Structure 1
Amino acid sequence: MELSNKQITVIFKSLCDENRVQIFRILQNGELCACHLLEELHLSQPTLSHHMKVLCDSGLVVGRKEGKWMHYSISAEGAKIAVDCLKEITAVNESECKCCNK
């Protein structure tokens, strides 16, 4: 599966914020209700909602509604795509240099 540059940017932009990285680390222990994330992170509800939207839009996190609360967890598929993407864009091509014929 080849991702566009835009899709790659969305994935990695979602992890370019300290709060979102902290949320991702918290979710490594399993699904969690937004109310517990709010307590642990000491963020306002609108700020948490913004961060969760960014993480969900990237595909790294999924949410499900239960009653009035959202429950979030890491998407195994989204995480695999991010890992594969990082491997792909950091792979060094050892082919001959085309600019100086070496």
Structure 2
Amino acid sequence: MKTLANVYHALSEVTRLRILKLLEHGELCVCDLVAALEMSQPKISFHVAALKRAGLINDRKDGRWIRYSITLECDLFRRYLISTTLEKITVGDVTDDRTRLAAFLAQKESNLPTKRNAL
């Protein structure tokens, strides 16, 4: 029963729904979510932890980064909730989030040193 409550609690907050929608297209780190949602790192981390506790997202260590993604290996109930929730969130609801994320990722990519620049 507690697991069920955790899942519904995680989906009952708009910020968490926005995070799920951003993760729909691939994994992101907290800094990406901070830029897209224009919220503080502690606030984003709090919401990410709630989604993780509910089994809706998972994490992967990548060097010094932790990357988050929607859980693919979960029970049928969670898969159904994730897919129907993502369907109900319209593109208009997260257009600004996606625009900010795209700009941040482009800037982040352009700041990465290439092999040639690193020498």
Within 1, Cα distance between the matches of 2:13 and 2:48? 12
Change (3 A) 1:82 1:32: same
For 1:32, the aligned partner's letter is L
After TM superposition, the structure 1 = structure 2 runs for residues 1-102 of structure 1, keeping only pairs within 5 Å, are 5-78=1-74, 80-83=76-79
Within 2, Cα distance between the matches of 1:79 and 1:42? 32
> SS of the residue aligned with 1:76?
coil
Q: Which runs of 5+ in 1 are unaligned?
A: 86-102
Q: Count residues in correspondence.
A: 81
Q: How far 1:80 sits from its partner (Å)?
A: 3.3
Aligned to 1:95: none
Q: How far 1:69 sits from its partner (Å)?
A: 2.1
Within 2, Cα distance between the matches of 1:80 and 1:63? 20
Aligned to 2:103: none
Within 1, Cα distance between the matches of 2:61 and 2:79? 27
Within 1, Cα distance between the matches of 2:34 and 2:40? 7
Aligned to 2:101: none
Within 1, Cα distance between the matches of 2:54 and 2:32? 22
What is the TM-score normalised by the length of structure 2?
Answer: 0.61
Change (3 A) 1:79 1:16: farther
What is the TM-score normalised by the length of structure 1?
Answer: 0.71
Q: How far 1:70 sits from its partner (Å)?
A: 1.6
Within 1, Cα distance between the matches of 2:19 and 2:80? 21
**Contact 1:60/1:79 (8 A) holds in 2:** no
Change (3 A) 1:41 1:61: same
Q: Which has the larger radius of gyration?
A: 1
Aligned to 2:109: none
